[in-house]
Amino acid sequence: MFFSTEVYKKRRETLVNNMPKDSALILPSWPETKRSWDVEWPYRPSSDLIYLTGFEESQACLIILSNSKNILFVQNKNPKKEIWTGPTYGPEQAAEIFQIDTCYFSSDFSHIAPEILKNTQSIYYAFNINQIWDTQLNQLIQTLKNKNRIFISLHDPTRLMAPLRMKKSKEEIQCIKKAVAISSEAHITIMKHCREDINERELYGLFLSEIMKKGANAEAYPGIFASGPNACILHYTDNTRLMKRGDLLLVDAGAEYKYYASDITRTFPINGKFTKIQKKLYTKLLKIQKQMIKFLKPGLSFNDIQNKLIKLLTVLMKEENILSGSIEEIIETKKYAKYFPHTFGHLLGLDVHDPTFSETHNIQLEEEFVLTMEPGLYLPPDDLSLKPEMRGLGFRIEDDILITKTGSEVLSHAVPKEVEELEALISTGLNKT
C-alpha cells in the first residue's frame, strides 16, 4: 500500500457518491498470465483495484455497493504455494490492513455474493478481462435473476472509474513526477551511450537497469528502441537491430513508480549528428510539438487538440512534398494518416493509456489532468512516392504534461530535445570511448 488507508477510503467515498441507487461495482483483480510452460509473466495488479484499495494480490475481487459497503474476496491461503511465492493476506489481515468492511476467501464468492447483491439492480463489471471471474459473474447474474426475478442492468465500470482517475490528486502527481524524473535520467544515459555498431537491445537493457537503480518497480510498457526504419513501426518492441552510422534512434520508454506511469519519446542520431534531411524534418516536428504544448489549457477538448495537430502536420507534409493536394482535401480524406496514424497523445496515470470517459466522447481538459503530447512522422522505407532520402525515417517526440489552472507544465522538460542539445550530449558520450 503506497498511501494511507484514509486516501483509499476517501476515493471509495467519492465513488459511492457517484453511484446510482441499488448498484454495485464489481472489480476483479487482473488475471495472472503464463509466459511459457510453467513460467508466469511478472504479476501487475489491476489499476482500478490499486486506485480504490492499494491491494496488490491476484485472484481477488472487490465489491462496492451504492450503500457504501465494501467487500473484498481474497485468494485462499495455500501454505504449499506460499513456499514458492510468499505469504498472502487472507481475509482477516486484508480487512484490517486495507480497512475494508468485510473480507472473504474468493472460493466463497459463489455462495456469498448472491446474498450481498440481493437488492442490486445494476452491476458495473467489465467482461473479457479476467475469464475466471467472468464465469463467476455469469453464474451470479443468473442466480440473482432466478432468485429475485429482477432485471439486472450491466454497465461499463469505466463510467465510474475514469471520472475519478482522470483528475490527479497531489500525491498522484508526485508519483508521476517521480516516474518521469527516473525516466528522464535514464533517457539521458541512453543518449550518452548511443553509438554505431551496438544492438538496440544493449540500450534497452541499460534503460531497464537505470530505472530500477533509481527505484522504478518496472517499465510502464515494453520499451521501444527503434533504430533506422524500425522507427516507422509504431510499437516496435523486438529491439534486436544492430545500429548503423547515419541511423536515427527512436526511444519510447518510461518507468513505472508506485504503479504510476511515465511515457517519453526522443528521436536522435546515433552518431551525434543529424543529416540534412533528418535535421530539417526533426526541426519542423519539434516546432509543432512545442506549439501544441503551448496550446494546452483547461477547457480544450481532445477533438480541438487533435484537429490542430492534424492541421500543423498536414502543412508540414505538404511543404515537404510528402503529400500533394490542398490542406482541406488532405485533412478531409485523412491522407495524412499514412504518415501520422495515431492521436496527439493520451491521459497518463496508473495506466500508461489512462482510461477516459465523457458522455459526449470528447474529453475536455481540466486542471490536474496529466497527458502526453506526442506528434510523429513516419516515412515507410518502401514508400516509392517519397523522395529516396526520406524513406525509412521515423520521428516521434513525446513529453508528459500536467494541465495547470492557466496552461500546462512539461514534466519531462529535463530530457533534451533541441537539435544542438542532442548532438552535444551524444557527442559527449562518443568522445569518452
Q: Which of residues 328-347 bind ligand GLY (CB under 6 A)?
A: 346
| Nearest residue (CB) to ligand GLY, 3 versus 221 | 221
Q: Interface with Mn ion includes 372 (CB under 5 A)?
A: yes
* Catalytic option among 44, 159, 353, 391: 353
Report the nearest approach of ligand GLY to the CB of residue 345 (Å): 7
Phi-psi region of 59 (alpha: psi -120 to 50; beta: other; left: phi over 0): left
Give the cell for residue 307.
484537429
| Nearest residue (CB) to ligand GLY, 200 versus 423 | 200
Catalytic (active site) residue 400: no
**For residues 120 and 23, is the Cβ–Cβ distance under 8 A?**
yes
Give the cell for residue 21.
441507487
In the chain, % helix, strand, coil (3-state, to 5) comes to 40, 20, 40
Size of residue set near ligand GLY by CB under 6 A? 7
Give the cell for residue 373.
503530447
* Catalytic option among 40, 108, 235, 319: 235
Catalytic (active site) residue 346: yes
The interface mask with ligand GLY, positions 277-316, x = CB under 6 A, is: ----------------------------------------
Q: Rounded CA gap, 184 and 254, in Å?
A: 8
How many residues are present in the chain? Answer: 433
Select the binding partner of residue 221 from Mn ion, ligand GLY, none (C-beta < 5 to 8 A, by kind).
ligand GLY
Q: Among 321, 176, 200, which residue's Cα sits nearest to residue 251? A: 200
Catalytic (active site) residue 351: no
Q: Among 365, 392, 188, which residue's Cα sits nearest to residue 292? A: 365
Query: What type of residue is 208?
Result: L
Catalytic (active site) residue 219: no
**For residues 86 and 75, is the Cβ–Cβ distance under 8 A?**
no
**For residues 241 and 404, is the Cβ–Cβ distance under 8 A?**
no
Q: Rounded CA gap, 104 and 92, in Å?
A: 8
Q: Interface with ligand GLY includes 263 (CB under 6 A)?
A: yes
| Nearest residue (CB) to ligand GLY, 181 versus 352 | 352
| Nearest residue (CB) to ligand GLY, 168 versus 346 | 346
Q: Among 140, 149, 142, which residue's Cα sits nearest to residue 115? A: 140
* Catalytic option among 125, 236, 282, 378: 378
Q: Rounded CA gap, 356 and 374, in Å?
A: 18
Q: Interface with Mn ion includes 263 (CB under 5 A)?
A: yes
| Nearest residue (CB) to Mn ion, 27 versus 397 | 397
* Catalytic option among 252, 256, 354, 399: 252
Phi, psi of 56 (to 5 degrees): -105, -5
Report the nearest approach of ligand GLY to the CB of residue 346 (Å): 6
Q: Which of 48, 252, 256, 354 binds ligand GLY (CB under 6 A)?
A: 252
| Residues with a known catalytic role | 38, 235, 252, 263, 342, 346, 353, 374, 378, 396, 398
The residues binding ligand GLY (CB under 6 A) are: 221, 252, 263, 346, 352, 374, 398
The residues binding Mn ion (CB under 5 A) are: 252, 263, 265, 372, 398
